[in-house]
Structure 1
Amino acid sequence: MKFQHLPIGAHFEFEGRCYTKVGPLVAAEEGGGQRMIPRYAVLRGLNDVAAAAAPITVPQLEAAEVSAAFAEFEQLAGQMLHEATNADPARQAAVQAALTVAGQVFRNRLNIK
């Protein structure tokens, strides 16, 4: 487990020594003293508090929700770009074409039609 996944107060072992997490980057050693724990460190939890600190799961979004949100973004971005091009029809067409291509790249990346 990684240090950032532990709650404050969790007990763990690192490099053969026992520590308690006291801050986002710092742990207190059982015998006294403090130490910064590197992000790459792999730790062994020593109590139930550490075991309860499982990785956070992110809820899955439905394709329809993502598509609707992106369509709303495209509409608003299109309006802002239209206003920013100062009513120059050629420039507006070029910007709209670029926005359309960017939208298709986004949908293709997420496999959304």
Structure 2
Amino acid sequence: MKLQHIPLGGRFEFEGKVFVKTGPLTASSEQGGQCMIPRYAHLKPLDLPATEDKPGLRRKLDEKAVKAAFNDFYGTCSALLGESAQPELEAARQRFLAALK
């Protein structure tokens, strides 16, 4: 893994030592002191982010629940806006509903 793929504060191993990323090209060692990490360096990350049990699966939303929530939101907006804004609000509503299809 390259340094650019490790988040700030992320721990990694380089040349047998443990470092913490402190900048785009810099890291501090556990023994203290800053050093520059070469762009070509291959690093071993120590704090890997948790992965999903089933990668690729996304949370599914219930279409009826989404439409009900949007209709509630639309009703509130309609009540708050004046008559002059109603045509634009309705056009935006139609675009939203069309995007769901």
TM-score range, shorter chain: 0.5 to 0.7
Question: TM-score normalized by structure 1?
Answer: 0.50
Asked if 1:100 corresponds to 2:90, the answer is: yes
TM-superposed CA distance for 1:100, in Å, is 1.2
How many pairs are equivalent? 89
TM-superposed CA distance for 1:35, in Å, is 6.3
* Contact 1:19–1:27, Cα closer than 8 Å, also in 2: no
Provide the secondary structure at the position in 1 that maps to 2:67.
Answer: helix
CA-based RMSD of the aligned residues comes to 4.1
Among the aligned pairs, what percent are the same residue? 27
Looking at structure 2, the residues matched to 35 and 61 of structure 1 have their Cα atoms a distance apart, in angstroms, of: 47
Which residues of 2 match residues 55-66 of structure 1 at below 5 A?
59-66=59-66
Dislocated runs of 4+, deviation >4 Å = 16-19, 22-26, 55-58
Question: TM-score normalized by structure 2?
Answer: 0.54
Instruction: Give structure 1 stretches of 5+ with no counterpart.
Output: 38-42, 86-91
Which amino acid in 1 is paired with 2:100? L
Which amino acid in 1 is paired with 2:70? F
